[in-house]
Chains A and B, each alone.
Chain A
């Protein structure tokens, strides 16, 4: 996947995250937004990622995980807790997805895994997340997505 499409996928995750957790919230509304976002990511991945690339298999779910990470910045309570959970989900997708690739002879994306893991550990210690901190965290996640 080239850099432009990679950036576009990150932008899509950011864009769809804006529709999550807007008040009034409900189980159906939030799930509906997540599933619709996932369908958009599925179509995007299917039409843009080369089918010979193994990473195509989990691309939509990586995008969903990133979208959930972005969306936690708009939460009004328990922001740190859900941020950690979203990052752990992203870590989960990357690590276990990578593990299946290891069995096919590909490399585990250790740098990305460690970067996300560090982010999750760091976020666990944030008692108060200011607007500036939110911005820096989002930059950090985008950097992981784009460069690792």
Chain B
């Protein structure tokens, strides 16, 4: 069974690999983008997979934190699906960026060239939250995996669950803010955090039910939760219809109507019936993400090209391959002696035991949380005092999204470091030290930053025949970052990195025309060089045009 699924995954991956490669090579021109939002399938797939990544933590950590642990194999399958989904999800923002070699600029610390990430951009929040979520989920999974054989780790699972509980909700809230803080009317929604969380949990539950079906087992409580969430989703879609007039019959039918067939015994008790309902939910939520990301496209079928379908196949293939290979490799560790499949184990009959357990959780978390709070406070103070405030006014609200992930990261490492280290063999310790060294190299590379070489995908100035005037060159070369009016391009500031410079008259005068021409031709910090695409005369014309714009803006 696993072998067949691995083959299916490999075939899908191979089919989609060319689409993925072309997307990386060509950038955003490769896939279909919405005419208004400039977003396309990579962001849709990112939102879908990051949502699916929440199921593992929901099922395992939240149930455990509240004192209702599930069977070991159910939890482990769910946690493994989180890790695999995260790997898939993490690839698509990089594809979306189009400048993959500059992705390190979303890391929110000061680099050697004095750059500080744009903390107003949800992209930076995304990177931090997902990275921390990945690390903490991995620690949680490792703890859970070895806890049967190493009792020292067993004590860490519940405190870790309490750390992951808010983090999992936080991460998807931040993903929702990618949309909610923009100007696109369809994305305006102060309710998006809850809407996204509900959608993520809903799709994640469907995925876990499919994966459990592959294990030839079922967990009724998850099916009940899935059915209950279908009502919540219907309520959200109702609200969206009233508020914005947005409604998709396909999404509603597949996501809210089809799940109601679970009321029928003949469907509920049939493996294919359950699979059909779960797949229907995944298709519905996938479609919903695509419609949300590309609100101008009313005809989804025509908007989807072969490359878009290839990216979908790539994501599915990568997940299936990764999940079932790991599942097969970890088989011995996943299936302990006390595998109990079925209903959750209720512990309410023994309140005294729960109280003692909660007290232990608090004791275990006390020091790690204090250290986490301390590090977070130091970071916030430092970030506010950084130069980024000069470019864009930074408020507490911009930094808060990073606080919880940072706190949880520090607390998790402090909590797990010693017990994990003590159970590791010498060989694994050596590997851990090597990995830490590699991580150090990466951090150093982030700090040092990268070059600003001209990309190979440049368009020669001759191709701009229709835009011969300096204004045309400005619109085609500069406006995407600096804005048509010489102020920030607000969309760029909110979703992208790094921050372009403000073109005030004082700043232009202080730098001088020759210096600015040099910057345009040779690049500086995050400004890419335009030599070969812009002549020196055109660069001088652009400087003159900048002065005109700066004068108008004063």
Within B163-205, the residues touching A (CB, 8 Å) are: 166, 169, 173, 176-177, 180-182, 188-194
Besides A34-B232, A38-B235, A46-B243, 20 new A-B residue pairs in contact (Cβ under 8 A), listed by A number: A27-B224, A31-B228, A31-B232, A35-B232, A42-B235, A55-B190, A57-B189, A57-B191, A58-B191, A61-B191, A92-B173, A92-B193, A93-B194, A97-B191, A99-B400, A100-B177, A100-B181, A100-B189, A103-B181, A103-B494
| A51–chain B nearest beta-carbon distance, Å | 8
Given contacts A31-B232, A92-B193, contact A42 B181 (CB under 8 A): no
Residues of chain B contacted by A102 (CB below 8 angstroms): 395, 397
A sample of 6 cross-chain residue pairs with beta-carbon separation below 8 angstroms, ordered by A number, consists of: A27-B228, A35-B232, A92-B193, A97-B191, A98-B190, A103-B181
Within B262-283, the residues touching A (CB, 8 Å) are: none
* Cβ of A142 under 8 Å from chain B: no
* Cβ of B253 under 8 Å from chain A: no
A57 contact from B166, B188, B232, Cβ within 8 A: B188
**B478-496 interface code vs A (CB 8 A; 1 in, 0 out):** 0000000000000000100
Within A12-39, the residues touching B (CB, 8 Å) are: 27-28, 31-32, 34-35, 38-39
* Cβ of A119 under 8 Å from chain B: no
CA distance A62 to B235 in the complex (A): 15
| Cross-chain contact B224 with A100 (CB below 8 angstroms) | no
* Cβ of A96 under 8 Å from chain B: yes
Closest chain A residue to B180 by CB distance? Answer: A100
Residues of chain B contacted by A10 (CB below 8 angstroms): none
| B264–chain A nearest beta-carbon distance, Å | 15
Within A70-86, the residues touching B (CB, 8 Å) are: 77
CA distance A57 to B195 in the complex (A): 12
Given contacts A27-B221, A42-B235, A96-B177, contact A77 B190 (CB under 8 A): no
Given contacts A96-B177, A99-B397, A103-B494, contact A61 B188 (CB under 8 A): no
| Interface-centre pick from B188, B234, B239, B395 (highest chain A CB count, 10 A) | B239
CA distance A98 to B395 in the complex (A): 13
Q: Is the interface of B mostly helix, strand, loop or mixed?
A: helix
Given contacts A57-B190, A100-B177, contact A28 B238 (CB under 8 A): no
Residues of chain B contacted by A138 (CB below 8 angstroms): none
| Cross-chain contact B235 with A96 (CB below 8 angstroms) | no
* Cβ of B351 under 8 Å from chain A: yes
Given contacts A42-B239, A100-B177, A100-B180, contact A93 B193 (CB under 8 A): yes
**B393-426 interface code vs A (CB 8 A; 1 in, 0 out):** 0010100110000000000000000000000000
Residues of chain A contacted by B182 (CB below 8 angstroms): 103
| B99–chain A nearest beta-carbon distance, Å | 24
* Cβ of B348 under 8 Å from chain A: yes
Given contacts A38-B235, A102-B397, contact A61 B351 (CB under 8 A): no
The total of chain B residues at the interface (CB under 8 A) is 36
Closest chain B residue to A27 by CB distance? Answer: B224
Residues of chain A contacted by B188 (CB below 8 angstroms): 57, 100, 104
* Cβ of A56 under 8 Å from chain B: yes
CA distance A108 to B181 in the complex (A): 13
* Cβ of B242 under 8 Å from chain A: yes
| Cross-chain contact B224 with A28 (CB below 8 angstroms) | yes
| B158–chain A nearest beta-carbon distance, Å | 14
| B75–chain A nearest beta-carbon distance, Å | 19
| Cross-chain contact A35 with B191 (CB below 8 angstroms) | no
Residues of chain A contacted by B243 (CB below 8 angstroms): 46, 56-57
Residues of chain A contacted by B63 (CB below 8 angstroms): none
* Cβ of B545 under 8 Å from chain A: no
| B44–chain A nearest beta-carbon distance, Å | 21
* Cβ of B231 under 8 Å from chain A: yes
Closest chain A residue to B165 by CB distance? Answer: A85
* Cβ of A115 under 8 Å from chain B: no
* Cβ of A101 under 8 Å from chain B: yes
**B137-162 interface code vs A (CB 8 A; 1 in, 0 out):** 00000000000000000000000000
Residues of chain A contacted by B176 (CB below 8 angstroms): 96
* Cβ of A137 under 8 Å from chain B: no
* Cβ of B548 under 8 Å from chain A: no
| A4–chain B nearest beta-carbon distance, Å | 22
Residues of chain B contacted by A101 (CB below 8 angstroms): 190
* Cβ of B225 under 8 Å from chain A: yes
| Cross-chain contact A35 with B231 (CB below 8 angstroms) | yes
| Cross-chain contact B193 with A42 (CB below 8 angstroms) | no
| Cross-chain contact B193 with A96 (CB below 8 angstroms) | yes
* Cβ of A54 under 8 Å from chain B: yes
CA distance A96 to B227 in the complex (A): 27
| Interface-centre pick from A55, A57, A77, A103 (highest chain B CB count, 10 A) | A103
CA distance A58 to B189 in the complex (A): 7
Closest chain A residue to B193 by CB distance? Answer: A96
